[in-house]
């Protein structure tokens, strides 16, 4: 028995779409997706996470053997196809992923040697986003298919990958900053130091279970992490230091060499402390 087929109007995904002014069943039917498709069909994206805004589009994933209908505008990517629809002011993207690249992606994550030296960029950005959105997705059809798909991607392992990747990026930034300071390139050193503080913040977030890889939601991620880890004093410190280092006062003074060096050292020290918290 398909729960959502019979009582879809009470499902979280249908409810959320209704709040956004989109009738889920109309949208699904326009795309030719019936009540029991040969695919995992789920709602995901920033609106599901509570991060989105009135300009955010709606992402509906279709993973399996279904192909897009001709009713939407199609955008073909390397591994998937997007079918675009518009409902009033809201854009709805149906993202179609065939099974083969998804299984290949799951296999790459499962067989990745996470302890080895360089794991960074072993997954493409779009693949990281796919895994994240799979884990936060809300089923629109056949929830058991979504659960089967999710089970292929170990969330803990994915967090370890993202954490390790952030630490590799930290290491790259530290080397950049050292060279920039040595050559007295203070403007770029200050900006790279600012990146470093953000990368350290990302690393700590991933170590606590954040799977969202998008920098644009960093502050929202911190807010959610604090809600989920209210007793984590290190997280409070990371959050406070992140904002201090993003907007140091007075920012204009940073272009004075001594101030630039001091700011860079603050960022370096912060990043190192955070990595030690993560790695022990």
Residues forming contacts to another protein in the complex (CB under 8 A) are 113, 115-117, 167, 170-171, 174-175, 178, 265, 268-269, 272, 275-276, 279-280
Residue 200: closest CA among 240, 155, 228: 240
Q: Which is nearer to another protein, 54 or 113 (CB)?
A: 113
Min. distance of Cβ 65 from another protein in angstroms?
Answer: 39
Q: Which is nearer to another protein, 33 or 167 (CB)?
A: 167
Q: Which is nearer to another protein, 165 or 212 (CB)?
A: 165
The DSSP element (H or E) to which 279 belongs, if any, is helix 257-279
Q: Which is nearer to another protein, 129 or 170 (CB)?
A: 170
Residue matched to tokens 């991060």 = 51
Min. distance of Cβ 217 from another protein in angstroms?
Answer: 27
Q: Which is nearer to another protein, 146 or 268 (CB)?
A: 268
Min. distance of Cβ 174 from another protein in angstroms?
Answer: 6
- For residue 58 the two structure tokens come to 């709606």
Min. distance of Cβ 63 from another protein in angstroms?
Answer: 33
Between CA 96 and CA 206 the distance in angstroms is: 27
Min. distance of Cβ 272 from another protein in angstroms?
Answer: 6
Burial of 52 (0-12, 13-18, 19+ CB in 10 A): middle
**Which residues does 173 contact at the CB level (< 8 Å), separation at least 6?**
192, 193, 195, 196, 199, 271
Between CA 258 and CA 241 the distance in angstroms is: 20
């Amino acid at each position: 028995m398909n729960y959502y087929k019979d009582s879809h109007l009470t499902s979280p995904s249908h409810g959320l779409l209704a709040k956004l002014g989109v009738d889920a069943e109309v949208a699904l039917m326009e795309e030719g997706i019936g009540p029991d498709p040969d695919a995992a069909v789920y709602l995901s994206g920033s609106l599901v996470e509570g991060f989105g805004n009135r300009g955010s589009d709606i992402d509906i994933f279709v993973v399996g053997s279904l192909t897009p209908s001709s009713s939407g505008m199609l955008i073909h990517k390397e591994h998937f196809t997007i079918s675009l629809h518009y409902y009033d002011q809201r854009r709805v993207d149906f993202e179609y992923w065939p099974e083969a690249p998804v299984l290949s992606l799951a296999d790459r994550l499962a067989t990745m040697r996470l302890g080895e030296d360089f794991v960074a960029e072993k997954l493409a950005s779009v693949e990281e986003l796919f895994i994240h959105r799979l884990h936060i997705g809300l089923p629109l059809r056949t929830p058991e298919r979504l659960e089967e798909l999710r089970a292929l991607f170990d969330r803990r392992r994915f967090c370890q990958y993202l954490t390790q990747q952030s630490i590799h990026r930290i290491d790259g930034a530290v080397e950049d900053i050292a060279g920039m300071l040595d050559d007295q390139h203070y403007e770029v050193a200050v900006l790279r130091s600012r990146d470093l503080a953000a990368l350290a913040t990302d690393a700590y977030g991933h170590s606590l279970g954040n799977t969202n890889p998008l920098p644009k939601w960093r502050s929202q991620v911190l807010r959610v992490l604090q809600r989920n880890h209210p007793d984590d004093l290190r997280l409070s410190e990371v959050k406070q230091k992140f904002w201090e280092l993003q907007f140091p006062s007075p920012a204009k003074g940073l272009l004075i060499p001594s101030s630039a060096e001091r700011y860079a050292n603050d960022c370096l020290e912060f990043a190192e402390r955070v990595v030690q918290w993560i790695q022990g």
